[in-house]
Amino acid sequence: METAYRDLTCGDARLSHVGREVALAGWVHRRRDLGQLIFLDLRDRYGITQVVIDRHDAPEAHTVGADVRTEFVVRARGVLAKRLAGTENAKLATGDVELRVQDLRVLSTAKTPPFPINEPDAEVDDALRLKYRYLDLRREPMQKRLLLRSRLVHAIREVHHAAGFVEIETPLLIKATPEGARDFIVPSRLQPGSAYALPQSPQQLKQLLMVSGFDRYFQIARCLRDEDLRGDRQPEFTQLDLEMSFVTEADVMAFVERMVIEVSRSVTPERPIANDPFPRMTYREAIDRYGSDKPDIRYGLELHSLADVAAGSGFRVFDETLDGGGVVYGFAAPGMAGAPRSRLDELTEDAKRHGARGLIWMALEEGGTIRSPIAKFLVEGRAAAIVAAVGAKPGDLVLIVAGDDIHAQEALGRLRVDCAARLGLGDPDVLSYLWVNRFPMYQWDADGHRWDATHNPFSGVLPEDEELLATSSGDPSDPSPGDPAGRARALQYDIVLNGWELGGGSIRIHRRELLERSFLLMGHSEKAQREKFGGILEAFEYGPPPHGGIALGIDRWAALLTYQTNIREVMAFPKTQSGTDLMLEAPSPVDPALLDELGLALKPRKKPDA
């Protein structure tokens, strides 16, 4: 890292360098002025080196050093020396040595920063961090995370190139996609009245590359979606996008699994990978056992159906739910029987927030008595049967949700995650990867009165379910919620890491007639198909190979690998939850002349009538 300004970085100096005359350059991390003697901790992204300025040895440098302040950029030249016995600093990699300064130059001065750069643990208001993002990024935690992210992307590229993948860039100015999220729109100056859309993902383009014969493609691709933000969602984010030809589901999963393991071991060698090979479970199993299609399996707390043991209990909620074809599920939260009423009320509120109509609890006291709002319905045998069904032990709290459908299981699944967090379950160091597949092809869209792709409209169907791509009316353009199509399972697979959806993909439909049938079910008439997907449908008339792929969220992956739950922490310049960039002050009004050229007028936000 030698340059005209420096011979070593601030992380390089070791005992082996002692005696050498060197120059260092960096930011003043801290200054300790003892009068005749000044210590500067000089920092760059590689580390910190102590610089000593002794007035007797270097009076001119001492004068400069007296005026130096935190975050000034300086260049110090001198002799690298072994520290005096007893003054070594074990906390620094460079702590056995120090630079005895002969010459000190200020390369640039700095105002007092708006928040401490030199205290890694300092809590700083998010808005302030984002406004001065360049200073936030100067802090050690952000440096570490972005460096890890860089290693992550590097490792991904290495593995893919080694496996014969071709890295191809796809355009950002493309055509709006009718499915999925809201598109960002870019008006066209050359084609007045028309607009480009920014890609939600390179989905169609990568499939076209398969038609072109690039049988192994990948890209670290920016994706843009104009939807509301969350901690794990930004309007622009990055995916590892890949697609392969002449593959089955097993082929894609096998490659991705090896790739993920290799990359994880390379980037975070100290973190254990829970399972190799990754466990695989069907969507149905994930929902039934964990109430989630992205279960965190680092801990148990599995859900159990109580349909058999709750039937005919005399408790109206159970009986009516089960008679109506609904579900009753429960799980045992270990050691939570002593939870006070207030805590149980909180859990009930959480369950409601997660979409349950209510929550039933049974606390198994150590003495064997059961405390529960439905105690009077729990005649002896029934209570024991429920306890047995969920595998509860004395001291456990059994949580039960009844409801019409999958939403009850999902609500309970979220309670499971809440309880696990509260109980401190799940080793935070472990990387627990998991495959979930056999997702339903479609979900019923009541508003649009059509079937909607659960994931991707091009996802293929399990061969044995192909005949289910039909409506009960016999006319694919006349769908209804009871259609066989609702039971069809997709060749769709998600990869899950510690309870987060890391990525998802599918084997695509490459046979045109099947694709058209699927599109009809999703409410796209042949005419609409031409308009919306004409390009790719035409391409599929020219020998599309069987193909499939996957996309992994790089931001989420980097966040999980750095113990973060918010992807902003692994993005250099993220936006706020309201989609603004506080540093650049974007979005902003646009020069009227430019708008005019584009044939645009921007309407200001509607104000309530005055």
Partner RNA sequence: GGGCCCGUGGUGUAGCGGCCCAACAUGCCAGCCUGUCACGCUGGAGAUCGCCGGUUCGAAUCCGGUCGGGCCCGCCA
CA distance 570 to 86: 39
- Decide: is 122 part of the binding site for RNA (CB under 7 A): yes
Q: Are 15 and 82 in contact (CB under 8 A)?
A: yes
Identity of the residue, 434 or 551, whose beta carbon is nearer to RNA in the bound complex: 551
112 binds RNA (CB under 7 A): yes
| 185-187 and 166-167 strand pairing | unpaired
Stretch that binds RNA, among 72-80, 305-313, 451-459, 540-548 (CB under 7 A): 451-459
Is residue 373 a contact point for RNA (CB under 7 A)?
no
Interface with RNA includes 27 (CB under 7 A)?
A: no
Of 122, 145, 151, nearest to 564 (Cα)?
A: 145
Residue 218 burial by Cβ neighbours in a 10 Å radius (0-12, 13-18, 19+):
buried
Stretch that binds RNA, among 122-130, 270-278, 299-307, 471-479 (CB under 7 A): 122-130
Peptide bond into 587 cis (omega under 30): yes
Question: Does 70 sit near RNA (CB under 7 A)?
Answer: yes
Among positions 141, 535, 566, 598, the unique one binding RNA when judged by CB under 7 A: 566
Q: Which of 72, 278, 315, 439 binds RNA (CB under 7 A)?
A: 439
Interatomic CA distance for residues 203 and 549, integer angstroms: 9
DSSP 463: G
Chain residues 153-172 in contact with RNA, contact rule CB under 7 A? none
CB of 434 to RNA, least distance (A): 15
Q: Is 444 in the site for RNA (CB under 7 A)?
A: no
E strand spans, 142-198: 166-167, 185-187, 195-197
Q: Name the minimum Å distance from CB 54 to RNA.
A: 5
When binding is defined by CB under 7 A, the residue of 127, 166, 250, 311 that contacts RNA is 127
Pick between residue 128 and residue 274 the one whose CB is nearest to RNA.
128
> Closest Cα partner for 152 from 561, 551, 596, 609?
561
Binding mask 512-551 for RNA (x = CB under 7 A): ---------------------------------------x
Q: Give me the least distance between CB of 362 and RNA, in Å please.
A: 26
CB-count burial class (<10 Å; 0-12, 13-18, 19+) for 156: buried
Length of the chain: 610
Considering only residues 578 through 607, tell me which ones interact with RNA, judged by CB under 7 A: 578, 580, 582
Q: Is 609 in the site for RNA (CB under 7 A)?
A: no
d(CA 162, CA 14): 36
Report CA 3 to chain centroid distance, whole Å: 38
Our finding on whether 334 is near RNA (CB under 7 A) is: no
Q: Is residue 87 near RNA by the rule CB under 7 A? A: yes
Size of the site for RNA (CB under 7 A): 70
For RNA, give the closer residue by CB, 230 or 316.
Answer: 230
The smaller minimum CB distance to RNA, of residues 178 and 187, is found at 178
Q: Which is nearer to RNA, 60 or 478 (CB)?
A: 60
Residues 180-199 that bind RNA (CB under 7 A): 180-182
Among 83, 105, 271, 512, binds RNA (CB under 7 A): 83
Of residues 272, 311, 577, 599, which one binds RNA by CB under 7 A?
A: 577
Q: Is 128 a residue that touches RNA (CB under 7 A)?
A: yes
CB-nearer residue toward RNA: 44 or 396: 44
Which is closer to RNA, CB of 170 or CB of 313?
170
- What is the DSSP pairing of strand 195-197 with strand 216-224? unpaired
DSSP characters for 475-526? -TTS--TTSGGGG-BBSEEEEEETTEEEEEEEEBP--HHHHHHHHHHTT--H
Using CB atoms within 10 Å of the CB of residue 98, give its burial: 0 to 12 exposed, 13 to 18 middle, 19+ buried.
Answer: buried
Is the peptide bond between 277 and the residue preceding it cis, with omega within 30 degrees of 0? yes
**Is 55 a residue that touches RNA (CB under 7 A)?**
yes
Q: How far is the CB of 341 from RNA (least distance, A)?
A: 21
Q: What is the DSSP letter of 12?
A: T
Contact status: 35 vs RNA (CB under 7 A) = yes
Q: List the one residue out of 521, 519, 517, 459 whose CA is nearest residue 492.
A: 459
241 touching RNA, by CB under 7 A: no
User: Which residue in 228, 308, 320, 366 binds RNA (CB under 7 A)?
Assistant: 228
Q: Which residues contact 351 (CB under 8 A, 6 or more apart)?
A: 358, 359, 399, 401, 411, 412, 415
Secondary structure (DSSP) of 413-454: HHHHHHHHHHHT-S-TT-B-EEEEE--BSEEEETTTTEEEES
Q: Which residues pair with 500 in a beta bridge?
A: 497
Structure tokens at 506: 């599918």
Q: Is 126 in the site for RNA (CB under 7 A)?
A: yes
Nearer to RNA, 246 or 573 (CB): 573
Q: Of residues 2, 158, 227, 323, which one binds RNA by CB under 7 A?
A: 227
Q: What angle do CA 446, 449, 454 make, to 5 degrees?
A: 70
Nearer to RNA, 212 or 566 (CB): 566
Distance CA 113, CA 135 (A): 8
* Single residue of 18, 37, 261, 514 touching RNA by CB under 7 A: 37
Contacts (CB under 7 A) with RNA, residues 479-518: 494, 504
Q: Candidates 25-33, 273-281, 386-394, 593-601: pick the segment binding RNA (CB under 7 A).
A: 25-33
How does strand 360-364 pair with strand 397-403?
antiparallel
If the CB atoms of residues 336 and 351 are measured against RNA, the closer one turns out to be 351
Q: How far is the CB of 505 from RNA (least distance, A)?
A: 9
Q: Does 36 bind RNA (CB under 7 A)?
A: yes
Binding footprint of RNA on the chain (CB under 7 A): 30, 32-37, 39, 41, 50, 52, 54-56, 69-70, 83-84, 87-89, 91-92, 95, 98, 100, 112, 114-116, 122-128, 130, 179-182, 200-201, 225, 227-231, 233, 293, 353-355, 439, 454-456, 494, 504, 551, 566, 568, 576-578, 580, 582, 608
